[in-house]
Structure 1
Amino acid sequence: MLITGASAGIGAALARVYAVEGWDLILTARRERALQALAGELAAGGATVAVVPEDLADPAAPRRLFDAVAARGLTVDGLVNNAGFSRTAGFLATEPEVQAAMIRVMLTAPVELARLFAPGMVERGYGRILNVASLAGRMPATGGDTLYGPIKSFLIKASQGLHLELRGTGVHVTALCPGYTLTEFHDANGTRAEVSAAYPAWMWQTAEHVARVGYAACETNRPGVTPGVMNTLLAGLAKHLPDRLALAMVGGHAKRLKRI
C-alpha cells in the first residue's frame, strides 16, 4: 500500500489501519524524519515498511515515485492519495505558485499516480485506490478558500468515474470525504483558533475514526463515503438546496472563520 501525505494526520492514521490489516506499506511525504518515525513505530508492530520521501508539488514527482518503487522491486496493490494542504488568505492574496502547488498536490498528482499504478492492479486482478477528498468537495465553494473545495470536487468525480471504469476488475476505488478532523491541517493553514472557536467539539472527528471508515468503505468498494451522520446530512442538504441558499450557507461558514 502506497500512502501519500503519510507523515501526519489522516495519512498516518490510514498507515496504522492498513498495517494492522496486514498490508506492507510504502510511505511518502515531504518530511522524511516524520516518515521514518512512523515507519519505526509500524515496523515495531510487525509491519514491513519502506520510506520514499517525495514532494508532490514537483510536477516530476509522480513518475519519480513510480520509478523509485519499481527500482526497489516493490509491487503496489494499493494506493492512498492523501497528500494535501490549503491556503485560506483568499484567492487574490495567495501567491500563484502556491495555488499551482495546491492543484498539483491534490488534483494532478492523484490522477497521475492512479494512471501509473492502476494498470498493474488491473493486470493482477486486485487493487485498492482510496482518494482522500473532503466534505468541502460536496459543498459549494467557500470564499477565501476558493480552490480547495473545487479541487476536492474534481477528486470525488474522478473517483466515481474510475470506480465505474474498473468495476469487475478486482480494483476498488473510493473517495473518502471527511469533515472537520483533528489533525495538523488547520495548524498548517493558520485557522486552528478560528475553527476551534467556530465549531463545537461534537462536530470534530478523530483521524483514526476517519481512517477506519475509509478503509472499510474501500474494502466493500463503495464509490464514496462521508464519515459522520452530521457531515452526511450537511452534504445532502447542500446538494438539494437552491444555489442561492446553499451559497448563503457556506458564506456564513466563511464569515465564522473571518475569511470574507
Structure 2
Amino acid sequence: MTPPRPVALVTGASSGIGEAFARALAARGHDLCLVARRADRLQALADSLTRDHGVAVLVLPFDLSEAGACERLLAAVDDAGRYVDVLVNNAGYSIAQSFDDVPWKAQQDFLMTLIVNACGLAHGVIPGMIARGGGRIIATASLAGFAPGVAGHTLYPGAKSLMMSFSQALDAEYRDRGLKVTAVSPGFVSTGFAAANGTDAVMADAPRRLFLTPEQVVDAALKANDAGRVIVVPGWWNALAAGLMRGLPQGLVRWILMKGSAKYHLAAD
C-alpha cells in the first residue's frame, strides 16, 4: 500500500509568499490545505496544483482574524481525514496608520491573524507531529522584526519579532522530538502587500534591486528548514541590515529608521 503523501497547511495561500509556498510544497509531493479568505483564488490555485503535480488539495476559506478560527480550521482538516505534517504560518498584513487612528477592532483583528491564531495552529498540530515522529513549522516573519518600533505599522515589528522568538522557543523545546522550526525574515518582496496597506505608491519608489520575489523567499525558507536553521534572512543586503539593527546602539537605529520610514506612515483616511 502506498503511504499517503505528507500534508502541508499554508495560511495566506491565495497570493504572494503563501501561493509560492503552496507551489513549492506541491512540487515536493505534498498534499495541500490552502487557507485564506478568498475562496475563488484558493480554488484556482488548487486546480492548478492538482493539474501540475497530481496532489490532493483541500480548500479552506477561513478568516483568521476571527477568534477560534484555529480550532475550527484544524477541525475541518480532521473531518477531511487528514493531519498536518507541515504548517506554514504565512497569513499577514500591516496597518500603516497611527495606532489610535484605526478602530480597536481592526488592531484586534491584526493580532488575532498574525499572533493568536498562528500560535493556536502550532499548538494544535504539534502533538500529532510528535506522535508521528516529526514535523515542520515555518513562519513568515519580517526584517521589521529586528527593528525597534517607529511611527506607523505600530504592532507589526512586535508581531514579527514575537514570531521569531516563538520559533526559537519551539525549536528549543521540540528539536529533539523531531520538529524542524524556521522563521523566514525577508525585507521588500514583490507581492500585493503594499497595495493592501495603502503604501504601494510609496513602495514603487524603492530600488527594485532591493526586492526579492516570493519564490526566492520560499526557496530560502525551505532550504533553511531542511538544514535545521531557525532564523533565516534572505538576501545579503537584508542580512546586513539585520546585523546592523542588532549590533548598533538602539537609539541610533531608531533615529535612522524613523527618518527612513516616515513616508510609510500614512495619515488617517
Give the deviation of 1:256 after TM superposition.
Answer: 3.6
* Aligned match of 1:210: 217
Letter paired with 1:211:
V
Counterpart mapping for 1:62-211 below 5 A: 62-197=70-205, 199-211=206-218
Q: What is the TM-score with the length of structure 2 in the denominator?
A: 0.94
Letter paired with 1:2:
L
Give the deviation of 1:152 after TM superposition.
Answer: 0.6
* Aligned match of 1:246: 253
Query: What is the aligned counterpart of 1:6 among 6, 9, 13?
Result: 13
Root-mean-square deviation (CA, aligned residues, Å) is 1.1
Percent identity, aligned pairs only, is: 41
- Secondary structure at the residue paired with 2:138? strand
| Total equivalences in the alignment | 259
Give the deviation of 1:259 after TM superposition.
Answer: 4.3
* Aligned match of 1:43: 50
- Unpaired segments of 5 or more residues in structure 1? none
The farther-off stretch of 86-95 and 127-136 is: 86-95
CA distance in 1, matches of 2:38, 2:186: 23
CA distance in 2, matches of 1:258, 1:137: 17
- Unpaired segments of 5 or more residues in structure 2? 1-7
Letter paired with 1:36:
Q
Letter paired with 2:132:
R
CA distance in 2, matches of 1:258, 1:123: 46
Give the deviation of 1:258 after TM superposition.
Answer: 5.0
CA deviation profile, 1:184-205 (whole Å, cap 9, x unmatched): 11010010110121x2010001
Kindly indicate whether the alpha-carbon contact (under 8 Å) linking 1:135 and 1:231 is maintained by their aligned counterparts in 2: yes
Q: What is the TM-score with the length of structure 1 in the denominator?
A: 0.97
Give the deviation of 1:220 after TM superposition.
Answer: 1.4
CA distance in 2, matches of 1:62, 1:220: 28
